[in-house]
Amino acid sequence: MNIDIGIDADKRNEIAAALARVLADSYTLYLKTHNFHWNVTGPMFQTLHLMFETQYTELALAVDLVAERIRALGVPAPGTYRQFIELSAIKEEDGVPKAQDMIRLLVQGHETVARTAREAFKAADSANDQPTCDLLTQRMQVHEKTAWMLRSLLE
Ligand SMILES: [Fe+2]
């Protein structure tokens, strides 16, 4: 059946492509955060191990919402590591960073998703796509708050 929600196919494809970047960034940041949860060491182990768990759990739920919004717009959602590597603006690390570097890398990761979501918002806003704008606003709020909390550990 045709999709008749008041957003034409070109716009839906454009928004879905922007959301695919948000999804890829979020999934890459999810894996990075889970990796750091496993591998963090040092005097802040307990704090960071638990903080990273809270953060990756939130990200694991968020990727589902982003992917399902892409589907509601009538477009397949990317779901392979190969696609995520191609689409993501967040790079992976080699080896195990020191705890302080993990925090810095996660700040950068959350800031990157916030920027990608802000870009995607423009496409959604110009197409009068309020549900996507709402989702992206919530994602920016979470990523900017989490970046602040992580940044505060470095002061
Ligand atoms: Fe665990």
Q: What is the pLDDT of residue 126?
A: 98
**CA atoms of 145 and 112, how far apart (whole Å):** 13
First CA to last CA distance, the chain: 55
Using an 8 Å Cβ cutoff, are 148 and 98 in contact?
no
- Per residue, the 3-state secondary structure of the chain, as one string, reads CCCCCCCCHHHHHHHHHHHHHHHHHHHHHHHHHHHHHHHCCCCCHHHHHHHHHHHHHHHHHHHHHHHHHHHHCCCCCCCCHHHHHHHCCCCCCCCCCCHHHHHHHHHHHHHHHHHHHHHHHHHHHHCCCHHHHHHHHHHHHHHHHHHHHHHHCCC
The tens digit of pLDDT for each residue in 1-44 reads 999 999 999 999 999 999 999 999 999 999 999 999 999 999 99
CA 85 – ligand 1 centroid, Å? 24
The tens digit of pLDDT for each residue in 42-70 reads 999 999 999 999 999 999 999 999 999 99
CA 35 – ligand 1 centroid, Å? 10
pTM of this prediction exceeds 0.85:
yes
CA 53 – ligand 1 centroid, Å? 7
C-alpha closest to that of 59 among 142, 134, 131: 142
The tens digit of pLDDT for each residue in 102-119 reads 999 999 999 999 999 999
CA 43 – ligand 1 centroid, Å? 18
Q: 């950068």: which residue's tokens?
A: 108
Q: What is the pLDDT of residue 149?
A: 98
